[in-house]
A and B are shown apart, each in its own frame.
Chain A
Amino acid sequence: MALDSRYVTAITDAVSRGVAHVVQAFESVANKSDVVIARSEGEVLRLATSTRQLYATYYQQVDSGLKLPDGDEWALVREVTDTLLFPQYKKDIRFGALSLDGVGLSNYGTCSIVLKEKMISHRASVFEENSVLFTQKHGLGTSNPDLPKGFRSAWPDRGKLCIAKLARGIDSTTEPAQYSALLLKQGKTSADDDFVEVHIWGPLSILSISEIMVRAPRQRQRMTIIKALRAKLAKHGVPVN
């Protein structure tokens, strides 16, 4: 198994560097990591109210079903659209990131949705990094479609994948307080983010959420949305922190 091989190599390297105990400590924490999806507060409100006719009726009205205009200027974007990367490809797959502190990639929104493990463990897999950047780095495409092995794991093996990817960055000075930033590094832009990507098949609902972490928005009215979210989710036992 390619992932096992990478894992053994990482552990062997850790042993040789005398940091096996630190790496193992990190692995046990990574095994308990959560999947977090970052979104704007408006998107989370939409998710939290999807069963209410009041919200669903009007949200449905503003779904744009984007259609790109004709013209060469749009060719680049259209190419992406045509390869189903944008936005329809997300129809069945949701993307998240592993997190130890419940905070997701802030480049994608101020709200971090922490998902319940029992609701996703049977339909989630874990990937080395941002899969699009990975594809780019490895020159993958229609002419070279074979994904290198050992960079993806089932949900229960996520700790193993984290070690395979991150063990080399761990040394004797690495403290538990640094584990979070090791697993998920917030970049200035999404291109600079470094994280372990999670692919979840199928829809998410309010029942899939374990908690929401929010970063207070600047605009006062957006705070009202957060308060509404808090009230809505409280009824489902989901805390907003």
Chain B
Amino acid sequence: MERMQVELNGKMTQLDGVATVGDLIRSKDLKPRMVAVELNGEIVPREKFDEQVLSDGDRLEIVHFVGGG
């Protein structure tokens, strides 16, 4: 695992010790079944979270369901 910079929800973010989408979700204390993840413009299927490797410069959106209204 290495250090990398990704664009996470529109902000440049330094990631340490994170290799996959699954790692990133766990490192943020999020539950995989409560978020949707888009990587470089493509939705990442939930069952691929642990396989999907991140690279320096990736653009990521991690989206939570908003409940107010």
A and B associate in one complex: no
